[in-house]
Amino acid sequence: MKGRPILGAVSGFFFGLFLGITLFLVGVIPLHSDLLIALPIIGIVLGLVMAWWAPFGKSEEEPPPTDAISPEPEPSN
């Protein structure tokens, strides 16, 4: 994986957990909803997918060859 799978799984779990709690507290889902169990699991999967995909940060491109950018030495007289 190019990203951080442990961070993804742990933070994804808490993201789903707190999202479920927030949705319950603001009256969007009932207390007995299975979503309160499903959301942390979805969060773990989301975190692992993010770590596998790793769409952020610098890509691992090969640096250009040094001789292609270095100027030609001036002939000395």
Partner 1 sequence: MRRRSATILVLGTLTVVFVGLLAVPAAAEITQGSCRGSATFPDKATDKVLDAARPRSLVFEAPTGATVNYTGDLGPGASASDEPVAFEGGVSLQLPRTSIPIASWEGETEEFSDSGTYTYELPAGIPAGTGDIEVSAFHNHTGYGNCAAVVSVSIAGSPGVAAAVAGGLTALSGAATLAAGRKKP
Q: What whole-number distance in Å separates Cα of residue 24 and Cα of residue 32?
A: 10
Q: Which residues contact 38 (CB under 8 A, 6 or more apart)?
A: 16
Nearest residue (CB) to partner 1, 40 versus 69: 40
Q: Whole-angstrom Cα distance, residue 23 to residue 13?
A: 15
Map tokens 């030495």 to a residue.
73
Closer to partner 1 by Cβ: residue 25 or 68: 25
User: For the window 29-58, what string marks contact with partner 1 as x by the rule CB under 8 A?
Assistant: xxxxxxxxxxx--xx--xx-xxx-xxxxxx
In the complex, the residues that contact partner 1 under the rule CB under 8 A are: 2-5, 7-8, 10-12, 14-15, 17-19, 21-39, 42-43, 46-47, 49-51, 53-60
